[in-house]
Structure 1
Amino acid sequence: MMRKYTYTLMICCALLSGLTNCGGGGKSKNADSTDTSKKNNTEGTANNNEGEQSSEGGSNSNSNANPKIAEIIKEYCNKLNSYAYTDVKTLFASDVKRYIGMKNTSNEAIAKEINRFLTTKRFVDYYAELDQLQVEGKKATVPININWGNYQTRMLAEMEFNDEHKIVSYNEAKALPLNRKIKTKKKKVVKSYENCNYKSKKSDCPYMLFDYVKVTQAPSETLKDSINKKILDFLGRGTPLGVTKESDLTKEANRFVKGFADALKERSANSTWYTNSRLFFREHKNIASIIYMMEGYGGGAHGFSSAGAANFDINTGKELTLDDIMVPDYLPEMKKIATKVFRKLNEIEDGKTISDHGYSMNDNEKFVLANHFLLEGDHIEFIYNRYEAGPYYLAPPTVRIKYEDIKHLIKKDGPLGHKIK
């Protein structure tokens, strides 16, 4: 994640969970990464513990006993999600007794570890359930929801503060039920030229990969079928003919390998050809979301990529549009808010316009919202593809707007109504 192209405004997020327990490593076109965290990784499972209070249910918090602690958590999250990693150290004491697996450490070391960890993850979404915050003296506990890629978990964090309200200890006490209503299964289809090792970083290997999930159980068949159909639609965007059923993925992978072999005979191909398609799943209370990412190279001056997202109302099975979650005539005001976010993330100075910086859109009424958006725990994220906001050389931005900043635009009786009550 690069600060230049991603801007995060969030009400709150989780204090970083599992940093020292989770594998890092750089990104590679051949990467087929599997997170090595030993936490409650719920990929492909659902945990419906009816006795557990909902993650967004009623509050029994006594955080009013010391509101400063809640403010610190919010400030920590804002710094974290705006990539102000070096500033995070200001929230910790110079000497910290514990930070997850780090003992007797420093605020400098913690900031360094945060930077190491977050730069290896995609679509990171951490948020704390502040309505469940419990404070007793200088100690506090709060449930934390943690998401990146296909990884999703919920932990109970224990924190301790000193007299100056600096964090002196942070520990994860136990995993909490996610209360997921949907079950998924991880799936993978991959074909490589002459069965070469597409995971190898020592040599190039032409390949086509589909790494995705399939919904196996949902509250309704309508919801299950709607999500699975959209998953295939996304995966088909990385193929010439598209796909309508899972068996088409194998056909397209074989077609890709054969196409490379034919081009190689004609000396019009090299060993760097590849197509890598991945799909992630999220569930937040009554909303299920899928996130699609594809990248590849098939010759020419540069590679190609695509990204997208779709959100579904778990109660109705309907794929959601902005009109479903926003009040009538929301668009002009939403564009003004998005303009401010976009200008800040691109450091556009006063007196200059967005188009002055090379983008194909401009401020306010001429601002273009991305075609794809993702509904996360406490913010909406607009996902742009290349050429959607500007020329190829400008990496596509990702604009995140917290619900708190657009609560006057959210329908109170809509799918996001519970976020503003």
Structure 2
Amino acid sequence: MKRILLVLALPFALLSCGRKEEKKLTPISYEMKTFRVESKIHCKTDSLCAFYQVSYPAFTGLDTTVLAILKKDIDSSVSMGNPEAEGKTMEQIGAGFIQDYEDFRKEMPEVPGSWNYKANVTVETLTDSLLSLSVQEEYYTGGAHGGYGIYYINLNPRTGEEFTLENLLKPGFEDPLTKIGEKIFRKVRELSDTASLNASYFEFPDDKFQLNRNFGFKKEGIVFYYNSYEIAAYASGPTEVLIPYEEIKDWLKH
């Protein structure tokens, strides 16, 4: 199903208000597509098979340069963080994933279990000045447990430039935003206002809370996502810090 540009009643919409448009902007729309590749051997049962799958939005109304930037960003986010995948497309990454499985299966046919990778790229916000995507991936290649992560891509859909916090917030926002983020982090993790973060098994330099660079823009607010292993052991799981726009309304650009 094709979905069109949604100019939300959000702070980003304000960024374009009051500007004189030099020309009429082409409407942006998208429809979801799925890329999937499967192993051609050892697929008789679910326990002996492998697949790599990515569901992603395919856009129309974007400049070809922006489309190229966007594809590169998405491709780099669906590689399980493998440095050898740098510069490769999802099609190449998927082919390599399946080839690795088949090579492994040939060497160790007696080892049970399947390999799988699945990613969903979701449009969180789409306006004429901001496209914010979340990339949710989960995978398993053997071992005690699989992997899981959420990553964000933010750019200006008209220019392809990265959309940063500085594009939305007034200068000097860093300390106030961090204080609000820490308050929400402690609430999510059920920590008191005075509890030591490091003593609570969260790893922050000098025991001082920091917002990370993995953030996105949702309808409700700015979300910062700490993946497993980033600031705590795997058993602690990931942490999502959602800062409502209402909490930072004094720092929003108008």
Q: TM-score, normalised by structure 2?
A: 0.79
Deviation at 1:56, TM superposition (A): 3.0
Q: Does 1:354 align with 2:201?
A: no
Counterpart contact for 2:28–2:62, Cα < 8 Å: yes
What pairs up with 1:365-404 in 2 under 5 angstroms?
366-404=208-246
In 2, distance between residues paired with 1:372 and 1:206? 33
Match of 1:182 among 26, 29, 37: 29
Deviation at 1:205, TM superposition (A): 4.0
Give secondary structure in 1 for the equivalent of 2:203: coil
What is the CA RMSD across the aligned residues, in angstroms? Answer: 3.0
In 1, distance between residues paired with 2:32 and 2:209? 39
The equivalent of 1:220 in structure 2 is 63
Match of 2:120 among 278, 286, 299: 278
Deviation at 1:302, TM superposition (A): 3.1
What pairs up with 1:21-420 in 2 under 5 angstroms?
42=1, 45-47=2-4, 55-56=8-9, 181-192=28-39, 194=41, 196=43, 203-237=46-80, 239=82, 241-242=84-85, 244-265=88-109, 267=110, 269-286=111-128, 287-361=130-204, 366-412=208-254
Give secondary structure in 2 for the equivalent of 1:224: helix
In 2, distance between residues paired with 1:379 and 1:372? 14
Counterpart contact for 1:208–1:256, Cα < 8 Å: no
Deviation at 1:387, TM superposition (A): 1.6
In 2, distance between residues paired with 1:325 and 1:354? 29
Deviation at 1:380, TM superposition (A): 0.8
Q: Which has the higher relative contact order, 1 or 2, with Cα contacts under 8 A spaced 6 or more apart?
A: 2
State the 4+ residue runs in structure 1 displaced beyond 4 angstroms. Answer: none
Counterpart contact for 1:275–1:295, Cα < 8 Å: yes
Matched positions, count: 237
In 1, distance between residues paired with 2:219 and 2:41? 44
Deviation at 1:273, TM superposition (A): 3.3
Greater CA radius of gyration, 1 or 2?
A: 1
The verdict on how the C-alpha distance between 1:250 and 1:272 changes in structure 2, with shifts beyond 3 A counting, is: closer
The verdict on how the C-alpha distance between 1:238 and 1:294 changes in structure 2, with shifts beyond 3 A counting, is: farther
Deviation at 1:246, TM superposition (A): 4.6
In 2, distance between residues paired with 1:180 and 1:56? 17
In 2, distance between residues paired with 1:396 and 1:236? 19
Deviation at 1:185, TM superposition (A): 4.3
In 1, distance between residues paired with 2:221 and 2:72? 26
Counterpart contact for 1:360–1:389, Cα < 8 Å: yes
In 1, distance between residues paired with 2:246 and 2:84? 42
For residues 271-312 of structure 1, give each alpha carbon's deviation from its aligned partner in whole angstroms, at most 9, with x where no partner exists.
143333332233432321221122223233432233201112
Q: Could you list the runs of 5+ residues in structure 2 that have no partner in the other structure?
A: 11-25
- Counting aligned pairs with the same residue, the percent is 23
In 2, distance between residues paired with 1:319 and 1:180? 20
The equivalent of 1:19 in structure 2 is none
In 2, distance between residues paired with 1:197 and 1:368? 48
Aligned residue identity for 2:238 = P
Counterpart contact for 1:292–1:308, Cα < 8 Å: yes
More off after superposition, 217-226 vs 372-381? 217-226
Deviation at 1:222, TM superposition (A): 2.9
Deviation at 1:350, TM superposition (A): 4.6
Counterpart contact for 2:41–2:49, Cα < 8 Å: no
Deviation at 1:354, TM superposition (A): 2.6
Q: Could you list the runs of 5+ residues in structure 1 that have no partner in the other structure?
A: 1-41, 58-178, 413-421
Give secondary structure in 2 for the equivalent of 1:228: helix
Counterpart contact for 1:231–1:290, Cα < 8 Å: no
The verdict on how the C-alpha distance between 1:281 and 1:195 changes in structure 2, with shifts beyond 3 A counting, is: farther
More off after superposition, 304-313 vs 344-353? 344-353
In 1, distance between residues paired with 2:94 and 2:231? 33
